[in-house]
Amino acid sequence: AQKITQTQPGMFVQEKEAVTLDCTYDTSDPSYGLFWYKQPSSGEMIFLIYQGSYDQQNATEGRYSLNFQKARKSANLVISASQLGDSAMYFCAMEPNIIQGAQKLVFGQGTRLTINP
Amino acid sequence: NAGVTQTPKFQVLKTGQSMTLQCAQDMNHEYMSWYRQDPGMGLRLIHYSVGAGITDQGEVPNGYNVSRSTTEDFPLRLLSAAPSQTSVYFCASSPAIGNTEAFFGQGTRLTVV
């Protein structure tokens, strides 16, 4: 069964520090995709970063990077130089068969990140 | 470019009432999906579609119907609303090619009393 586990319900970080949000996944499909979304208090889902199971390099998007460790089945999100606007809920998600498109995402329960000034 | 548009944004229903949540996308995406988000939880897949005329069930389909008569629209129908269906509903779309992102609508907050 496909599953995403986020073990940190909440995290508190000082502004300008780096923060790592943990995500482990479970799937038997070889061609999967991993996503991170941000959900601010306004409620919308904001796409942050994507990593494909066959991608050799770790994905990066600006201040966001994904620490992809395939053997450990982990896909941790790293936010560098955190800002007050980073305070939000963060969701890790997986598409078990990315060849068929990002249509059946499996989500973790999320981590609430709070950035302190 | 509007992206994925959901209507309404808020809705209160009485138990037993029916209604349709609307979802439209203008990106010509083949894939569309409906998710629900309960308090303190991640999103769970209700139904999805890989193209016009093709739909399938997700993790939590009971109590919901969908149809996809056009590429652009993917409405979600609640046949007889129950308090357990109180949730925030998200519609998402993604392309069949270059499928590295699912685009989400703004969500519909539904309360069933």
Q: What is the mean pLDDT of residues B83-108?
A: 89
Q: Is the pLDDT score of B72 beyond 90? A: yes
Chain B interface test: which of A103, A106, A107, A109 (most B C-beta within 10 Å) = A103
Chain A residues with CB under 8 Å of B33 CB are 103-105
Give me the half-sphere count of Cα atoms (radius 13 Å) on the Cβ side of residue B46: 26
Specify whether the backbone of B98 is left (phi greater than 0), alpha (psi in -120 to 50) or beta.
left
Q: B93 and B4 in contact (C-beta within 8 Å)?
A: yes
Chain A residues with CB under 8 Å of B94 CB are 101-103
Q: Tell me if chain B has a CB within 8 Å of the CB of A4.
A: yes
pLDDT at B47: 97
Residue of B41 and A9 predicted with greater confidence: A9
Task: Name the DSSP letter for residue B73.
Answer: B
pLDDT at B41: 85
Q: B73 and B62 in contact (C-beta within 8 Å)?
A: no
Tokens of B96: 């069949």
Q: What residue of B is the nearest CA neighbor of A53?
A: B100
The pLDDT confidence band at residue B21, using thresholds 50, 70 and 90, is very high
Chain A interface test: which of B5, B43, B93, B108 (most A C-beta within 10 Å) = B43
Q: The tokens 């007889």 sit on which residue? A: B80
Give Dmax (Cα) for chain A.
43
Q: B30 and A101 in contact (C-beta within 8 Å)?
A: yes
Residue B75 amino acid letter: P
Q: What residue of B is the nearest CA neighbor of A33?
A: B100
Q: The tokens 């450990």 sit on which residue? A: A72
Nearest to A80 by CA among A61, A108, A52, A93: A61
pLDDT at B18: 96
Distances, alpha carbon A23 to alpha carbons A60, A95, B52, B80, in Å: 16, 14, 34, 37
